[in-house]
Amino acid sequence: MRIGEMVRRTGVSERLLRYYEEQGLLHPTRLPSGYRVYNEADIDTVRRIRSLLAAGLSTTIIARILPCVRIDGSALTPVCSDTIAELQRERERLTHTIHELQTSRTMLDTVIAAAAAT
């Protein structure tokens, strides 16, 4: 299928599909004219990419673990043992980021409260 059909079937813009290709996440074939051609498996790949992005992973991490993650119903399932360790590291990174954001929010609350008291 051509890129327009891929956009319709996945809901992902042409720009993002090209970006995923640049990042090594998608590998469409090219016609002699230069047009990209996607296969049915690429639809599943885009779904996995979107799910992993929604989980807060970077495209660099996704490129490493994408071959080791499959969709099982509506859930992603790691199928390589080292993938779980990498996901746990990413979870810790997210936990740290959340803590930093909560600290920032508390500081802002203090500043806002001080402004309201004046």
Q: Which tens digits make up the pLDDT trace of 4-57?
A: 999 999 999 999 999 999 999 999 999 999 999 999 999 999 999 999 999 999
Write down the pLDDT at residue 74. Answer: 77
Q: What does the DSSP 8-state code read for residue 34?
A: S
Task: Give, rounded to a whole angstrom, the gap between the first and last alpha carbons of the chain.
Answer: 63
Cα separation of 111 and 59, whole Å? 36
**pLDDT tens profile 53-90:** 999 999 999 999 999 999 887 788 888 888 999 999 99
